[in-house]
Amino acid sequence: MKLEAVVFDLDGVITDTAHYHFVAWRDMALGLGIHIDEAFNERLKGVSRLDSLRLILAHGGKADLFSDAELEAIATRKNEHYVNLLSALSPADILPGIAELLRELRQNGIRIGLASVSKNAPQVLAALGLTDAFDYCADAAKLTHSKPHPEIFLTACAGLGVTPAQAIGVEDAQAGVISIKAAGLYAVGVGSQLEGVDWLVPCTSHLTLPALLAHWADRQQN
């Protein structure tokens, strides 16, 4: 079966805004009397804004203190802080090898999708100069379920006009890998501590088109 599409996560795969997310969540949490560190922040990767907030509140023993409206307001304030932190983002912040990979995928007629739960994804892509590099971006605002549910990768495949069996998903978070596998895509993980991936690379510079195609071919034979 020919590879028809590659669907990327955003944070940690296309660019690394994880530290900005951590700073924004840390400052928000401190305002509520809750301390989180970067180790705890790992649990928030690939998780939606409201679900991240609920995890933080549970961590601080304050899970039941806020109404839905108050949760939305807190999450909105965190996001405004995060957006301000992103003001310095530029094409120089694209992770190693990714710009070249996107160009090679385009040149070879392989469709390119984005499966990010971040509602700021359009702004991040614009700052990176990559808006036109993607054929379809799943709209996080229209999704019912967050990762690890497969909805976002299924939505991306449908938007690209491919079946999950024709596509590769690329993630750096465990929740994202679970989402990819549940949706039925071939799972490529970026990092060192991901379980259940079909192919794991230590960093994005290893994500070349020849390498992707070689691993895809091996999968077809096994």
Which residue out of 9, 93, 139, 172 is catalytically annotated?
9
Q: What is the DSSP string of the chain?
A: ----EEEE-SBTTTB--HHHHHHHHHHHHHHTT----HHHHGGGTT--HHHHHHHHHHHTT-TTSS-HHHHHHHHHHHHHHHHHHGGG--GGGBPTTHHHHHHHHHHTT-EEEE----TTHHHHHHHHT-GGG-SEE--GGG-S--TTSTHHHHHHHHHHT--GGGEEEEESSHHHHHHHHHHTPEEEEESSS--S-SEEESSGGG--HHHHHHHHHHHHH-
At residue 114, φ and ψ (nearest 5 deg) are -120, 130
At residue 61, φ and ψ (nearest 5 deg) are 70, 30
Residue 9 among the catalytic residues? yes
Which residue out of 11, 132, 172, 198 is catalytically annotated?
11
Residue 93 among the catalytic residues? no
The set of catalytic residues is 9, 11
